[in-house]
């Protein structure tokens, strides 16, 4: 049995499906603060509650034979983390300490952590690999890096076995069209463009056209959520097969696309024309973040299946079927 915390959220719900499809039994723990009960795979056992709830965790560990824990239940808005840093340190760090302590108390020693490219800050490498220095520039990135460091210490001290996965820009939706991205508020580029093209928003803003990039807009590495989910299954297999693992892997496509290129690809996929408004830079945006995922490719054979166009096609399929997201259909 695998415990997936945050399994009602965007990336977590795709990981739940991937694990169950591969034959694992899953318990989902989610407080539904940002997740959706409709996103929880009906084949999973669902427990509503908080990640930092010691007595609830205890109950779950006593009731089920948990082989490994995946942890997706973090706050993840960079801007909000600057305004309300303690909210981020509280949930993303303190509650995770409680979780790890409770795991160890019940002799559950395998852990997969959702980390982020935000741990790198503003790197100057063309392709960022795991040896690049980590220098996060906001509380969100720092909270994630703190947990990574804590995991490393816990591995040495208590024999915790872990994999930290540093996601670049998660996007797209499961091909079934049944689960997908539904954030409130939505801040991510691809869903905002598609919602605009569906007539839900008047325009799409481009945050800054004066960056030191070929077309002046920021470059990101977009990676399909199902490719991310598949990487979790591979990491899980590594944890189940090897005695003690302490690894950090990047997850990206290794291809960078500018904001303008993303909007153009959305137009191409949908056959619709976007109303593009040039706006000021958004504080804290690094000009370019593109991953090298060679390490996980070489070690675990992970290879993303979706390029940008295929990512946007699956996202479009989801948005057309769920124009108002999960709850308001
Ligand atoms: N952008 C726009 N207009 C919008 C929304 C976004 O131009 O309406 C731009 C952003 O400025 C950025 C790019 O599109 O240049 C991508 O923005 P997203 O908000 O989609 O994604 P981010 O790259 O900001 O965020 C991702 C993850 C975060 C992580 C961050 C690290 O979603 O969890 O990378 O920098 F912290």
Domain boundaries, the chain: 2-171+223-251, 189-220+254-321
Give, using CA atoms, the residue closest to atom 18 of ligand 1.
188
Cα–Cα distance, 96 to 101 (Å, whole number): 9
The pTM of the whole model exceeds 0.85:
yes
Q: Is the CB of 179 under 6 A from ligand 1?
A: no
Residue 193 · residue 202 · CB < 8 Å: no
CATH for 189-220+254-321, options being 1.10.3210.10, 1.10.1740.10, 3.90.25.10, 3.30.1370.100: 3.90.25.10
Which portions of the chain are predicted below pLDDT 70? 328-329
Active site residue 167: no
The rounded Å distance from CA 302 to ligand 1 centre is: 24
pLDDT given at position 124: 84
- In the prediction, which pLDDT does 327 show? 74
Residue bearing the CA closest to ligand 1, atom 4: 189
Q: Could you identify the residue written with the tokens 């063309």? A: 126
Closest CA to 118 of 250, 209, 217, 224: 250
CATH 3.40.190.10 fits 2-171+223-251, yes or no: no
Q: Is the CB of 206 under 6 A from ligand 1?
A: yes
pLDDT score at 284:
82
pLDDT of residue 328: 60
Verify whether ligand 1 is closer than 6 Å to residue 192 (CB atom).
yes
């Amino acid at each position: 049995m695998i415990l997936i915390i945050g399994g009602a959220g965007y990336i977590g719900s795709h990981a739940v499906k991937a694990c169950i499809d591969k034959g694992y039994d899953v318990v989902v723990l989610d407080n539904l603060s940002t997740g959706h009960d409709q996103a929880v795979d009906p084949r999973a056992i669902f427990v509503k509650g908080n990640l930092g709830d010691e007595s609830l965790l205890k109950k779950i560990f006593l009731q089920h034979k948990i082989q490994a824990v995946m942890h997706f239940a973090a706050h993840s808005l960079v801007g909000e983390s600057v305004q309300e840093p303690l909210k981020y340190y509280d949930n993303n760090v303190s509650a995770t300490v409680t979780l790890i302590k409770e795991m160890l108390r019940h002799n559950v020693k395998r852990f997969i952590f959702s980390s982020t490219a935000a741990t790198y800050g503003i790197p100057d490498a063309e392709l960022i690999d795991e040896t690049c220095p980590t220098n996060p520039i906001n509380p969100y990135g720092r909270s994630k890096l703190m947990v990574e460091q804590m995991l490393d210490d816990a591995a040495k001290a208590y024999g915790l076995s872990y994999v930290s996965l540093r996601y670049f820009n998660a996007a797209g939706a499961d091909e079934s069209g049944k689960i997908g991205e539904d954030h409130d508020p939505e801040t991510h580029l691809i869903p905002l463009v598609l919602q605009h093209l569906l007539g839900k928003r008047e325009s799409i803003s481009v945050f800054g056209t004066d960056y030191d990039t070929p077309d002046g807009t920021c470059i990101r590495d977009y990676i399909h959520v199902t490719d991310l989910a598949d990487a979790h299954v591979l990491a899980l297999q590594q944890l189940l097969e090897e005695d003690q693992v302490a690894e950090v892997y990047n997850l990206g496509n290794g291809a960078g696309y500018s904001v303008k290129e993303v909007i153009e690809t959305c137009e191409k996929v949908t056959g619709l024309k976007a109303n593009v408004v040039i706006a000021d830079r958004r504080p804290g945006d690094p000009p370019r973040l593109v991953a090298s995922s060679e390490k996980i490719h070489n070690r675990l054979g992970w290879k993303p299946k979706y390029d940008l166009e295929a990512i946007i096609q699956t996202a479009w399929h989801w948005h057309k079927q769920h124009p108002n997201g999960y709850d308001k259909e």
